[in-house]
Chain A
Amino acid sequence: MTGNAPFLVVGIIFFLGLYAILFERNLIKIAIGISLLEASANLLLIVLGYRSGGSIPVFTLAGEVKTMVLPTPQALTLTAIVIGLATSALLLSLIMLLYRHYGTLDVREIRRLRG
Chain B
Amino acid sequence: MNWQIHLPALALAIPLLGAFASPVAGLGGRSIRNAWMVFISIATTAICLLLLNRVLAEGVMVYVMGAENWNLTLPSGLSWPIRIILQVDAFSAFMAVVGSVAALAGAFFSLQFMDKFTGLEKFSALYFLLVTGMLGMQLTGDLFNFFVFLEIASVASFGLIAFWRDRPEAVEASFKYMVISTLSAMFVLIAVGFLYGRYNAVNIAAVARMMHMGYAEKIALVFLVVSLTMKCGTVPMHMWTPDAYAEAPAGVTCLLVGVSQASLYGLFRVCFSLYGVSLGSTVVPWTIIVMGVLSMFIGVTMAVIQKEVKRLMAYHSVSQIGYILMALGVGLLAIRDPQAMAEYGFTAMKGGIFHILNYTMYKGLLFLTAGALFYSSGSRNLNEMGGLARVMPHTTFMFVIAAAAIAGIPPFNGFVSKLLIYQSTFAVYPLLAVVALVTSVLTLASFVKVFQTAFLGPARKKFEHATEAPGSMLIGMSILTIVIVAITLFPTWTLSHLVEPAAKALVDQAGYISAVMGGGL
What is the size, in residues, of chain B's interface with A at 8 Å between Cβ atoms? 39
What is the size, in residues, of chain A's interface with B at 8 Å between Cβ atoms? 34
Asked if B159 and A90 sit within 8 Å, CB to CB, the answer is yes
Asked if A45 and B193 sit within 8 Å, CB to CB, the answer is yes
Contact with B along A14-55 (1 / 0, CB 8 A): 100000010000010010001001101100110010000000
A90 and B155 contact, Cβ closer than 8 Å, known pairs A83-B148, A102-B168, A113-B172: yes
Contact with B along A66-108 (1 / 0, CB 8 A): 0000101100100110010011001100110110011000000
B313 within 8 A of A: no
A113 and B196 contact, Cβ closer than 8 Å, known pairs A90-B158, A94-B158: no
Asked if B193 and A94 sit within 8 Å, CB to CB, the answer is no
B309 within 8 A of A: no
In the bound complex, residues from chain B placing their C-beta under 8 Å from that of A83 are 148, 151, 155, 185
In the bound complex, residues from chain B placing their C-beta under 8 Å from that of A86 are 151, 155
B270 within 8 A of A: no
Asked if B196 and A97 sit within 8 Å, CB to CB, the answer is no
Asked if B168 and A101 sit within 8 Å, CB to CB, the answer is yes
Q: B244: nearest residue on chain A (CB-CB)?
A: A113
A79, B159: Cα distance in complex, Å: 21
In the bound complex, residues from chain B placing their C-beta under 8 Å from that of A90 are 155, 158-159, 178
In the bound complex, residues from chain A placing their C-beta under 8 Å from that of B148 are 79, 83
Nearest chain A CB to B249's CB is how many angstroms away?
A: 16
Asked if B171 and A44 sit within 8 Å, CB to CB, the answer is no
Nearest chain B CB to A7's CB is how many angstroms away?
A: 10
A contact set with B: CB distance below 8 Å = 14, 21, 27, 30, 34, 37-38, 40-41, 44-45, 48, 70, 72-73, 76, 79-80, 83, 86-87, 90-91, 94-95, 97-98, 101-102, 110-113, 115
Having A72-B196, A94-B175, A113-B246, one finds 5 other A-B pairs with CB under 8 Å, namely A34-B179, A83-B148, A95-B175, A98-B171, A111-B172
- 6 residue pairs from A and B, CB less than 8 Å apart: A21-B183, A44-B193, A76-B202, A79-B148, A83-B151, A110-B172
